Amino acid sequence: MNIEAKLGLDVFKIDEESHIKIDNEVCSTVCTTKSCQWVCPANLYEIDDQGNNTVNHEGCLECGTCLMACDHDALEWSYPQGGFGVQYRLG
């Protein structure tokens, strides 16, 4: 079974409140690499029409890669509150 098929088995219980917070002031004034956008395996980060970095927390795989890659402390990341987030299934 390939990775796409395995990820297709996962279920997401969506929390209204994002477990990822972005400091867009830091993103727009200090960060030049936008590493969170290219390291996220779920491709959840993008720049909106106003030039702000945004994240679609609903599809987060909870790996923490974005937090480790952000070298300007522009992200605040925690696991979703209990009962929410990704539910991995073995296939």
Spell out the domains of the chain, with CATH numbers in brackets. 3-87 (3.30.70.20)
Work out the angle at residue 48's Cα, subtended by the Cα atoms of residues 44 and 79, and round it to the nearest 5 degrees.
35
Provide the residue-wise pLDDT of the chain in tens; the chain has 91 residues: 776 777 777 778 889 999 999 999 999 999 989 999 999 999 999 999 998 999 999 999 999 999 999 999 999 999 998 888 888 877 6
- The pTM is what? 0.83
CA distance 18 to 8: 22
Q: Locate tokens 């477990």: which residue?
A: 19
CA distance 53 to 38: 12
